[in-house]
Amino acid sequence: MDGQLDVVPLAGTTVCGDAATAADAIAVEHLSLLGAHRRPGGPLRVDDVDVHTDWTDPTGRLLDEVTAQAALGLMATHGRASGGPVRLGVNYVSTVAGVVVAQGALAAVLARLRGQRPGSVRVSVAGAALLTVSQYLAAGSARDTDDTGEVSGPGMPPPFTSLDGVVFEVETLDPEPWRRWWTALGAAPGDTARGWRAFVLRYATAAAPIPPALHEITRRRPFAQLCASAQAAGVAVQQVRGLSARRADAGPDGRFRAPWQISAGAPAGALSDLPAGRLPLYGVRVIEAGRRIQGPLAGHVLRLLGAEVTRVEPVGGDPLRGMPPMVGDCSARFLALNRGKRIVEVDLRSASGRSTVRNLVDDSDVFLHNWAPGKAAEIGLDSTDFTTSNPGLVYAYASGWGDERGTDAPPGTDFVAQAYTGLGEQLRPVGVPPAGSLMTLLDVLGGLVCAEGVLAALVTRQRDGRGQRVDSSLLSAAGVLQGPLPAARPVWGRWDTPTPVADGHIMLAAGSDVMAAETALGDAGTLTAREAVSRLEAVGVRAVRVCPEPGELAGDPIALDLIEADGCAFVRPPWRFTS
């Protein structure tokens, strides 16, 4: 990765130790990009703080990338649209855990700068993995499950395919352009309406049963015609790119730009001292104006680290608050990322509403948002608008594309970004048609990367006494997940994917002795998951039961101490700081 930092948050800091896992390697790389000096050898340390990456679950069982995906609900979520668990062909758990480890290290550095001396930070990889499925965990464990909000019926998710074989994603955040487009293409009103509901809910449900008739319509028309009609209707189109096209975006080493751009602002004071026994961000005031997942998750992470987060919502509240299933009067999915935040409702179209937000930001330490490009400047809430009134502000913008695509780019949303970055070829093995995931991979990782950048900026403010601006994007998050790009798509054998058993599936750890597994299992389809795992363990082969639905983790010992129940299951902080 090439650095994009005008400041060096970790100048003078030393990262010691060997990166024993892919997660540690990412954490060390990010801390190095932020200016830390690398010194190999021994366990991982940041100056005098021990950093432990814990790959065991609460039962003491050792996990790896694939068993973590299986046991903690990621395979179930990724495969929901296809009717069964599907392995992610990228090291998603390791990548997320690496960013979370870096967050913990940065938080410990900040705590030290604020007068405390944490001796260690321990990061649960299982806890980090659960953060990625937190909205699905909350929805699946809600007591009120009579109405889940999900769409049923025959259908298949995007992407769509044209007559001339072009595979593409579409995006619109408004039902009217959707209706105009499909009406112009001759779709029946009923199919258009059902398709919209499935399409708009795909972010929340990880499924999108688009009526087959709509897919058939696109297959009968050339791509150029579909693009022209979509543009006329106000619908964005993004062709699904492959890895060969994505390589053109990378550097000579196959890596991408640093995941954040951080620049210094005006001189200002430091944060207050940190009282003993408090979390690293105690006393830090955050204003978050986020939509969907990326922005809210960034605010959520900062809150888990001790910040006081105030969320700006439209008058009447965020519409997603009403998405079933409900916990009391609020959506379980919404609460998974927004529980514990103070809420302020404002009309940003009015001068008084904008003034309210400005006053909130003027009295805060961090302002983060993921608005559409240009909106902040249009309404007078860009970083330069606070240079005089709040020079110490850490201003964070979590965008879709950053500055890497032009003004004619489609909306920078998760599934469009997946299509652009060629993730479909990495997620699925050779022999399976490439396709993105309806699990919001980049929204989640983008939110985590944004929070990581904010932590680095807070460290810099504490050291240098200057405000900071942090820019990150879904595209930069994709670069973290994809770099360095592989030479080819994954190739998997029988035991590299979930194995069917009598009551579900099991997943073997990577690198398992497949001959021993075959001998131990015999006809696996006649065994329960418990029996199969027990037989494998008896011959020294590690395996786990594949979680069939994230909501079931609420009662599973594998998630004990990693979640808490309050009307539904919520994920606890994945870090533990000790003095």
The DSSP-derived string for 171-184 is E-SSHHHHHHHHHH
In angstroms, the CA 395 to CA 385 distance is 11
Phi first, then psi: give them for residue 393, nearest 5 degrees: -65, 135
Buried b (16+ CB within 10 A) or exposed e, 517-536: beebbeebeebebebbbebb
**Assigned token pair, 78:** 């990724």
Sorted by sequence, the CB contacts under 8 Å of residue 171 that are 6+ apart come out as: 235, 236, 238, 410, 411, 413, 415, 416
Is residue 543 within 8 A of residue 509, CB to CB? The reply is yes
The yes-or-no answer on residue 443 being catalytic is: yes
pLDDT in tens, the chain (579 residues): 555 678 899 999 999 999 989 999 999 999 999 999 999 999 999 999 999 999 999 999 999 999 999 999 999 999 999 999 999 999 999 999 999 999 999 999 999 999 998 899 999 999 999 999 999 999 999 987 666 666 777 899 999 999 999 999 999 999 999 999 999 999 999 999 999 999 999 999 999 999 999 999 999 999 999 999 999 999 999 999 999 999 999 988 888 999 999 999 989 889 999 999 999 999 999 999 988 999 999 999 999 999 999 999 999 999 999 999 999 999 999 999 999 999 999 999 999 999 999 999 999 999 999 999 999 999 999 999 999 999 999 999 999 999 988 778 999 999 999 999 999 999 999 999 999 999 999 999 999 999 999 999 999 999 999 999 999 999 999 999 998 899 889 999 999 999 999 999 999 999 999 999 999 999 999 999 999 999 999 999 999 999 999 999 999 999 989 999 999 999 999 999 998
Cis previous bond, 9, omega within 30: no
In angstroms, the CA 207 to CA 134 distance is 16
Polymer length in residues for the chain: 579
How distant, in Å, are the alpha carbons of 27, 131, 297, 574 from that of 48? 16, 28, 30, 21
In angstroms, the CA 188 to CA 172 distance is 19
DSSP string over 459-528: HHHHHH-EEEEEEEEHHHHHHHHHPSPPSS-----GGGSPEEETTEEEEEPTT--HHHHHHHHSSGGGS-
Active-site hit among 249, 443, 496, 556? 443
H-helix or E-strand spanning residue 199: helix 189-200
- Does the pTM of the predicted model rise above 0.95? yes
- Indicate the SS3 state at residue 62: strand
